A and B are shown apart, each in its own frame.
Chain A
Amino acid sequence: MLEHLDRLIRKTGHAGIDAIWRLGYAGKFMFLTLIGSGTSFRRFHLTIREIYFTGVRSLIIIVVSGLFVGMVLGLQGYETLQRYGASSSLGVMVALALVRELGPVVAALLFASRAGSAITAEIGLMKATEQLSAMEMMAVDPISRVVAPRFWSGVISMPLLAAIFNTMGIFGGYLIGVVLIGVDEGSFWSQMQAGVDLRYDIMNGVIKSFVFGIAVTAIAVFEGYDSPPTAEGVSSATTRTVVTSSLSVLILDFVLTSFMFRGA
């Protein structure tokens, strides 16, 4: 009994110290990535190549899901608003929901599972097949050659993807609300323009997606770099990337929202 308890305490302490250790290691890793970022801007074609894989290849999923999220918002919003005779406010409802919350958050979640997992798997496999050690042997810093371009490509792509998601979502809401249901087109757009503020709503949405981009790609590159160099290690690192970055997007979203939209 006592021995059992002893082992439990040991295990908890071990896990705790391990987590703190990993956090410190992640901090050092992020610092080194920022220090080594010069290469990814001096040799920008490295970053361009990564933007192609993280950003351009995510376009289809972002465009399609943005369209469908907007169409669902159009249907559900109309359903609720017409009970109060306020169906002309459909435009402002769809736009605010997308620009403030759904755009940045859903785009970041999709980005984490589409691009984040790919980044982790790629870097993890590079480590497992000892490509990273080979680079070090050739006096090429793998952090500035492999990690930093991927990090910056994610940070650049995320706000653009979220903006495209928002635009497609508003178009989807327009399709359902105006074209299909027949809400007045003039009031749809004019109420949207009157209700959505450039600085308060759109800028805060862009800031959100920027922060999510940093969080998701930082987690993805770190998990890849830190993964055990085995097939099993890479697969569990990929899973951890999706889980951790989705959770941190949702938690960060709450924190940012509570700072940005206090409801006056």
Chain B
Amino acid sequence: MERTTLDLWVGIFIAAGIGAILLLALKVGNMSSFNGSNTYQIYAYFDNIGGLKQRAPIKSAGVVVGRVAAIALDPKQYKARVTFNLDRQYQFSKDSTASILTSGLLGEQYIGIETGAEDAMLKPGDTLAFTQSAVVLEKLIGQFIFNKAGSGNHN
């Protein structure tokens, strides 16, 4: 069997195809998808999650440290039970606060974690004690109008 120019062309084609896949993987996509075994799960209860979605990022000081794994309604307390998938290399204290924030005015919602002062760290399967719900714009506007009307009557 001898080498032909046909083999060369096929070689170029396959190299270009694999190169394209690698380029897509390295340049276009992000490797850190937090789906693997290098994560641990903790839970948090929120009164209202607003528009939070599954796979929304969890950030601490703006750095992505995990993703929302699942959202469900707790049928006893009528609160939303959110499962966090956190990267194993980041540990947070037991009295950390999780709040639902919005990136920009119309952006997607994400969870911000602020670590507390306690020395003991959260273990896999723990539940966060301190949470802050999403801001519902309608309620905020309602409160504002109610306050305005209230102060107007006094004067």
Contact = CB atoms under 8 A, between A and B. Distances in A.
Interface of A: 45, 48-49, 51-52, 55-56, 59, 84, 95, 99, 156-157, 159-161, 163-164, 166-167, 170, 189, 192-194, 196-202, 206, 264
Interface of B: 1, 6-7, 9-10, 12-14, 16-18, 20-21, 23-25, 27-31, 33, 35, 53-55, 106
Looking at chain B's contact residues, is the secondary structure mostly helix, strand, loop, or mixed? Answer: helix
B53 A99 contact: no
Contacts of A163: 17-18, 20-21, 24
B29 A193 contact: yes
B57 to A, nearest CB: 9
B132 to A, nearest CB: 23
Contact of A167 (B7, B23, B106): B23
B6 A49 contact: yes
Contacts of B35: 199
B17 A159 contact: yes
Contacts of A201: 29
Given A161-B17, A163-B17, A167-B23, A197 B29 contact: yes
B98 to A, nearest CB: 19
A255 to B, nearest CB: 22
Top 9 nearest A-B pairs (CB, nearest first) are A160-B17, A264-B54, A163-B20, A198-B29, A167-B20, A163-B21, A196-B29, A56-B13, A164-B20
Given A198-B30, A201-B29, 16 more contacts: A45-B1, A52-B6, A52-B10, A56-B13, A59-B16, A84-B106, A99-B24, A160-B17, A160-B20, A164-B16, A170-B24, A193-B30, A196-B30, A200-B55, A202-B21, A264-B54
Contact of B10 (A55, A198, A202, A264): A55
A170 B14 CA distance: 20
B28 A99 contact: yes
Contacts of A196: 28-30
A51 B10 contact: yes
Contacts of A170: 24, 28
Contacts of A159: 17, 21
Contacts of B106: 84
Q: Looking at B6, B12, B17, B30, which has the most chain A CB atoms within 10 Å of its CB?
A: B17
Contact of A193 (B7, B14, B16, B28): B28
Contacts of B12: 56
Contact of B17 (A49, A164, A194, A202): A164
A58 B28 CA distance: 24
A193 to B, nearest CB: 5
Contacts of B21: 159-160, 163, 202, 206
